[in-house]
Amino acid sequence: MDLYHQPGFLGTKAFFLSDLTLVFIILSASLLTIGVVLARRGKFEAHRWVQTAAVLLNASVIIGVMIGSFRGYYLPEISTRLGEPSIAVTAFHAAVGLFGFLFGTFVMLRGNNLVPKVLRFSNYKLFMRVSYAFYMFAALTGIFVYLIEFS
Question: Which residues 6+ apart lie within 8 Å of 107 measured at CB?
Answer: 127, 128, 131
Given a cut of 90, whether residue 1 has pLDDT beyond it is no
Among 125, 69, 122, 120, which Cα is nearest to 97's? 69
Model pLDDT for residues 118-143, shown as the tens digit of each residue: 888 888 899 999 999 999 999 999 99
Range of the domain at 97: 16-150
- Residues of the chain with pLDDT > 90, as a percent, come to 76
Domain assignment present for 4: no
Domain assignment present for 52: yes
Domain assignment present for 10: no
Domain assignment present for 127: yes
Domain assignment present for 32: yes
Domain count within the chain: 1
